[in-house]
Amino acid sequence: MAHWLYKSEPEAWSWEQQVAAGEGGTCWNGVRNHLAKKHLMAMQVGDLGFFYHSNEGKAVVGIVEVIRPYYPDHTDETGRFGMVDLRAVEALPRPVSLDAIKAEPGLKDMVLVNNSRLSVQPVTQAEWALVRRMAGLT
DNA sequence: GCCAACGTTGGC
DNA sequence: GCCAACGTTGGC
């Protein structure tokens, strides 16, 4: 299974709103970047990902699951981009801040550290396990 | 609020 | 098809 990281500004779409969306989840729309699109297209139902708050908070706060694979984003007038549907799985017992991620040698190659502007990022198996542990999950 | 990094646009 | 100009993102 692949793992991902989704960035969102809490003012635009927060973890709390994702949780409130419930089991049915919501579409993760608004991606307008080809590399991010590539990642969206690679996602499969059941893939898990981190939900990251950018700007305000700057921390991984929760875990989400892909519940619908890539389909066209109707809010994209050019018709070039698509989206997936996500649902909230669980909140992290302890959010993992960007500072903590940067301070962790095992995470120095995370995309979040090296290409912080990419809004949808792949996360390796090792990074996934390490961030989970830092968050207080087994 | 500043600015570096990056992607996109459009003139040539 | 190159590249300068511009807009956006996001950490600081």
Distance, Å, A99 CA → B2 C1': 21
Tokens matching residue A51: 């939900």
Tokens matching residue A8: 């969102």
Distance, Å, A97 CA → C11 C1': 13
- Tell whether the model's pLDDT for residue A87 goes beyond 80: yes
Average pLDDT, chain A: 95
Q: For the whole prediction, is pTM greater than 0.85?
A: yes
CATH classification (class only), A3-134:
alpha beta
Average pLDDT of A32-56?
95
User: Which chain C positions come under 7 Å from a protein C-beta?
Assistant: 8-12
User: Which H/E stretch holds residue A125?
Assistant: helix A125-134
- Tell whether the model's pLDDT for residue A84 goes beyond 90: yes
Q: Is the CB of A7 under 7 A from strand C?
A: yes
> How far, in Å, CA of A106 to CA of A118, rounded?
20
Nearest nt to the CA of A116 via C1' is C10
> How far, in Å, CA of A98 to CA of A46, rounded?
26
Please name the residue whose C-alpha is nearest to the C1' of nucleotide C10. A55
